[in-house]
Amino acid sequence: MIQQIYPSPSHEFSYELNKDFQFAAAHYVPHEAAGKCQNIHGHTYFANITIAGDQLDESGFLVNFKTIKELLHDRFDHGILNEDELFSDKDETRFPTTEVVARIMYEVIQEYLNTTINKPQCLQVFLRETPTSYVIYRPKSGGLL
């Protein structure tokens, strides 16, 4: 896996965990502004998920690395993003652009984290779509799910 340097969010939590993974997925952006990207095509996405908190769970984990991979990588890998119910071709807030995919990845992981006993926070999703294009999504403070 390509190791990358990415910006870190500032915070005052005692623990910060980062999980990197790649997934291959196809998508198209259903808007004329997307030009050739209106046609279905594929990417090898690279993601880095940052999670922080002050309390560990009964396993001594902030959150199990494996769970993050199962929730995100295993859902999207070798899929067509537009066909996942998380996305929509009719609602621009759910077109599978890099921005939206990053935000939706945050929403998926934070909804899971909210069910855990120690309730850590996802502070950042870094999502690289191509060698020259990436997005960082950070929830606004106070706007956490």
Ligand X SMILES: Nc1nc2c(c(=O)[nH]1)N=C([C@H](O)[C@H](O)COP(=O)(O)OP(=O)(O)OP(=O)(O)O)CN2
Catalytic annotation on 78? Answer: yes
Residue type, 75: R
Contact partner, 48, from ligand X, Zn ion, none, Cβ < 5-8 Å per class: none
Is the Cβ–Cβ distance between 85 and 75 less than 8 Å?
no
Contact partner, 93, from ligand X, Zn ion, none, Cβ < 5-8 Å per class: none
| Cβ proximity to ligand X, 62 vs 137, nearer residue | 137
Binding mask 36-75 for Zn ion (x = CB under 5 A): -x--------------------------------------
Q: What is the DSSP letter of 74?
A: H
Q: Cβ of residue 12: shortest distance to ligand X, in angstroms?
A: 31
Query: Is 73 marked as a binding-site residue?
Result: no
Residues that bind ligand X (CB under 6 A): 29, 34, 37, 97-99, 129-130, 132-133
Is the Cβ–Cβ distance between 122 and 109 less than 8 Å?
yes
**Secondary structure class of 110 (helix, strand, coil):** helix
Distance CA 24, CA 75 (A): 11
Catalytic annotation on 11? Answer: no
**Secondary structure class of 17 (helix, strand, coil):** strand
| Cβ proximity to Zn ion, 14 vs 130, nearer residue | 130
For the chain, report the end-to-end CA distance as a whole number of angstroms: 31
Q: Which residues are catalytic?
A: 37, 78, 129
Please give the annotated binding residues for Zn(2+), written as ranges: 27, 41, 43
